[in-house]
Every structure is written in C-alpha cells, then in structure tokens.
Amino acid sequence: MIVVSRLPLREWDQDMATAWAQRHVASVAHGLQDMAAQRTAAVSRRLDKVLEAFSHERVGSQHFASLTGYGHGDLGREVVDRVFARVLGAEQAAVRLQFVSGSHAIAAALFGVLRPGDRLLSVTGRPYDTLEEVIGLRGSGQGSIAEFGITYEELALTPEGCVDGSALEQALSTPTRMVLIQRSCGYSWRPSLSIDAIGDICARIHQRQPDCVCFVDNCYGELVEEKEPTDVGADLIAGSLIKNLGGTITPTGGYVAGRADLVEQACCRLTAPGIGREGGIGFDLNRVVLQGLFLAPQMVAEALIGADLVAGVFDALGFAVQPAPGGPRGDLIQAVRIGDPEALKVICRAFQSCSPVGSYLDPVPAAMPGYDSELLMAGGTFIDGSTSEFSADAPLRPPFNLFVQGGTHRGHVELALVRALVALVKAGLLKLPQNG
C-alpha cells in the first residue's frame, strides 16, 4: 500500500492535517471542474427523456395511490411500467417493490427465461458475487439454475478488462439460450462496459444466434450514458431501485425491462405462471417511485462527479484507481486499490462518521447473505443499503480494493474525503507532506 509523499514528514497535527486535506481535495475538485460541468450539462438531456416519458404516459396524481390485495388492473403500477419502459428504450418494463434487490430481479430473469438443458454464457467473466449462488458456482441445495439442469460457462475478460471477441466467436459455435453481460465492474478491477461495447456484443451474438437472449445486468449503469442497453440490442435487462433509477429516494425494489415476452417470463418467476406482470401492488409508493425516477438524472450526475473526485484525490496520492479521474464511465463505481485492510477500515470508518445516518457506528467486517467474503461497508444512508447515496464497501480480500459509489451532492463527498485523509494521516498510514 500507501503513500506517497516523497517529502519529509511532520508530527501528527490535527489542524495541519485538516488544512492540508482540504487544500488537496479542493485542488483536485478545481482540476476536475470542466468534467463536472460536462456531467452537469448532461442532466438536462437525461431529464428531458424522463419528462418526455411522463408526459407521453400522462402521469397524474391519480396514479400515486395503488390498489390493495392482488393489484389486478392497478393503473398506477401500469403507468410506472410504461414510463420506465420509455426511459429504458424497452418494449416492456416491470417495476416492482416485490423485488428485494437487483440480485433478485436478475435471478427472476434467469429462472424465468432459462429451461433445463439451456446454456447460459457469461461473456464478462465471473458475474457479481451474489449471482454465484444463483448460478450454482457456490452453495448447494438451494435450487440454483445448475440444480435445474442449466449449463453455465463463462469467458474470461482480456487483460485490459474487455470482452474477448475471439473467445466469444468460438463460444457461439455452441447453441446458447442466454448470454449474460455485466455492465458494471461490480467488485472486479475492470472498466465498466460502454453502451457502444454492449451494442457491438449484442449485434455479434444476434448475427450468429438470432434467438439467443442478450441479458444485461444493468445495476449501477442506468442514466450514466445517453442510451441504455435496451436501446442498442439487449433483449432483457434488470436492476435495482435503490441504485441509479431510484433517485436516492425509492425505498426498495427492482425492475426488469426488454422484450415483452421475456419480461413476462421474468414476472412469472417473481409472482406465478399465469399471474406474471398482472399482480402485485405498489403499497401507495408510486409517487416515490416516479419522483425517484424524476430525480435520478441529477443524482446520477452528482454521483459521477463524486466518483471523479474520489479517483482524483487518491490518484494524486499515488494509489491505483479504476477508472481514471475524468475518464469514461459506464457506471457509478469508483475502485481504489488501497492494498491494506487496516487502511480500508480507517477510510470506511471516516466515511461512516461523515454520514447523515448512523454516524456514530463503527463499520466492522461482517458476513452478508449472498457474499463469500466478509464485507466492510460504510453506508450511513437514508435508505438502508442504498448505494446511490454516498457509500463505500470493500470485500475483505486481497488486494483490498475499496469501491465507492453514489452521492447526492458533491459537497458531501468532499467532506468525507477530507475526513478520510485526516484519519489516514492520524493512523500513520498516510504521510503529510512537509510543505503541505
């Protein structure tokens, strides 16, 4: 790990460390101001798309309430689905608070579409941690897709972290029912996939196997670019509402979107065959879901500006970061190679202490359902587990990467970074420049 000042050191001094950290963060923010302006300017284009969808579907306050019981014919649920489908460039969407998380929505898509004997091929390497048990790569006796007779193969990414084109060509000589494409890096050290890259992969797959379902795990990617995977050839996508599209206020839920027949199949898994998309109420939360979508373009832009800042602050101190500050982004995640478990804890503790909720808590590594490694999480968010609010987490395994995401305003990210730097200096893990 660490650090990075080639200058002689001073003794620990709180005021001096704070003044240095504030100057460092401010100077990085200043250097990134053109990129921040570009990200802010992009908000209107994304918001225009959202408003267009609201207007086209004639959203009114009559849609805010939901039915009770089965929810058959729930006008609010139906308008929410149509609005999301338009924003995502999809034929159909199902936006449901009954989805517990993004992993649940993805699992519903896999189980809904795949049948015994089908082949699932991941072209972006090992899928996100929580999908390992869904696929059957970890755990047994829980009804993974492997236990239902679905075969699974994955293609490693190239050393640059891109989809391996020639391996894909070769893999497509075998009939494949579904290809899984993970847009975001998740907990891996690789660039997120651009929409253009996703479009290219889908085109190649459909050219060789027109009936193969191109399915994209869209978690963390929504509204980061002008288009969504469903605009450029993906047949089905899934994601979480406590990430990008929830605009930091939707309290729970997830979505699937894409071809109408595939969305229906995913919903038959969520509810039951025969009920599909037609059941399930919105618990009178349709207003929040719609308002979250309305806020999402702004929240995503703020999170991206915050991610650039995190990248810039650590990059300037000599840490490896992925992606580079101001570089192309396809998701909200900023990875920083901290390289040391103690420093990870210090940073997460500082971020937690700068959170609006639970600032007094001391994050400690703990097991979490669906994950193999212990996780360290700094997430003092209003929505529990929300990663569109400023948060950081780290699977406690070498090389001890920190994954930072979200943020409703850049000022919050700045404050948290200052605290983290001061805490690192105080812990003797970061050296204060003599002339700083």
Q: Would you state the structure tokens that stand for residue 426, as one six-digit string?
A: 């105080």
Nearest approach, Cβ of 135 to ligand PLP (angstroms)? Answer: 13
DSSP structural state of residue 366: B
Q: Which is nearer to ligand PLP, 217 or 389 (CB)?
A: 217
Nearest approach, Cβ of 410 to ligand PLP (angstroms)? Answer: 22
CA end-to-end distance (rounded Å), the chain: 21
Nearest approach, Cβ of 181 to ligand PLP (angstroms)? Answer: 11
Q: Which residues contact 224 (CB under 8 A, 6 or more apart)?
A: 192, 244, 300, 304, 329, 330, 331, 332
Nearest approach, Cβ of 126 to ligand PLP (angstroms)? Answer: 11
Kindly write out the interface string for residues 259-288 of this chain, putting x where it contacts ligand PLP by CB under 6 A and - elsewhere: ------------------------------
Q: Which is nearer to ligand PLP, 76 or 322 (CB)?
A: 322
DSSP symbols for 184-217: S-TTSSSPPPPHHHHHHHHHHHHHH-TT-EEEEE
Residue 272: phi, psi to the nearest 5?
A: -160, 150
Do 245 and 212 touch, CB atoms closer than 8 A?
no
Q: Which is nearer to ligand PLP, 20 or 403 (CB)?
A: 403
Rule CB under 6 A: which of 164-193 touch ligand PLP?
Answer: 182, 184, 186
Asked if 130 touches ligand PLP (CB under 6 A), the answer is yes
Q: What is the CA radius of gyration of the chain?
A: 22
Across the chain, which distance is largest between two alpha carbons, in Å?
71
Amino acid at 171: A
Nearest approach, Cβ of 418 to ligand PLP (angstroms)? Answer: 26
Q: Which is nearer to ligand PLP, 220 or 351 (CB)?
A: 220
> Positive or negative, the Cα torsion across 169, 174, 175, 179?
negative
Within 10 Å of residue 237's Cβ, how many Cβ atoms? 32
- Say whether 224 sits in a helix, a strand or coil: coil
Nearest approach, Cβ of 360 to ligand PLP (angstroms)? Answer: 25
Nearest approach, Cβ of 403 to ligand PLP (angstroms)? Answer: 8
Residue in the shown chain whose Cβ atom is closest to ligand PLP: 102
Distance of CA 338 to the CA centre of its chain: 21
Rule CB under 6 A: which of 84-123 touch ligand PLP?
Answer: 101-103
Q: Which is nearer to ligand PLP, 57 or 222 (CB)?
A: 222
In terms of DSSP H, where are the helices of 66-182? Answer: 75-88, 102-113, 131-135, 165-171
Nearest approach, Cβ of 18 to ligand PLP (angstroms)? Answer: 32
Rule CB under 6 A: which of 210-229 touch ligand PLP?
Answer: 217, 219-220
Asked if 240 touches ligand PLP (CB under 6 A), the answer is yes
Distance of CA 334 to the CA centre of its chain: 10
Q: Which is nearer to ligand PLP, 184 or 265 (CB)?
A: 184
The residue count for binding ligand PLP (CB under 6 A) is: 12
- Could you list the residues that contact ligand PLP (CB under 6 A)? 101-103, 128, 130, 182, 184, 186, 217, 219-220, 240
